[in-house]
Structure 1
Amino acid sequence: MHDTSTALIEAFACTWFGMVAAISFLEAPLKFRAPGVTIAIGLGIGRLVFRALNLVEAVLAVALVVTVAVGRPETAATVLAAVAVVTLVIQLVGIRPALNRRTDRVRTAADPDSVPRSHTHFAYIATELLKLGVLLALGVVTVAG
């Protein structure tokens, strides 16, 4: 049965998916290719954009949790929603602070290229890919259900 809570879960999952895909995998890498955008400027823009994205993601995560709690969808949808939310929390609490510290170092360095590269970025990309897969699966599960 396709009820209101299922439709809301679909909407939240698809909106969240689209925002992450557009920002993380289109805007983020492309801004560094724009003429005149230095590493420091690109990182400053990225911090603003990701702060806004993460705020919207947090709102969508709360809306998803409330909708799942009230609507009591199938187990698969509940588990997928939980994984998406937990992945976001890991990013916000465990990964973003380290990325922000590195961004601060790069932006204040006399020679930004002298700041060692960080492997933390790969963890963020991996969690973004996980989140995209989970949100896509959540959308499919609710549409099919």
Structure 2
Amino acid sequence: MKFICLGYADHSKFAAMSEQEMQSVMEECMAYDDVLRQGGHFAGGNALEDAAKAVTLRFRDGNIQATDGPYAETKEQIGGILILEADNMEHAVELMSKHPGVRIGPFEIRPTDETIDKMVAQRDAAFMERKS
């Protein structure tokens, strides 16, 4: 099963770290990502820039509205995603509970929707077939 792990962070904590502290935290996180890779559990991931650089789209009154930034009532914003391969939710929780990033902020773990994932994969294959 595939899981999307949303890592949240309070960016003020990062701003308060020295460059050496930040490098140490990132190295610790990446070292655990290597453990996940070795076990065949790391299926991808990306870090995100500060939420202040985001644009949020909403459909209202028949129009698309774009607004700067997210509008969450929390200091913790999504800082990145990790795509995890695990046997089930319990296994995903077990794997991510060891990730050093959890000390920085919470991780939300969600299973992917396999039905829609299959539809997307079929559409991708059809698109590539038409393209060639």
Instruction: Give TM-score scaled by structure 1 length.
Output: 0.26
The structure whose residues are more often helix, as a share, is 1
The structure whose residues are more often strand, as a share, is 2
Instruction: Give TM-score scaled by structure 2 length.
Output: 0.28
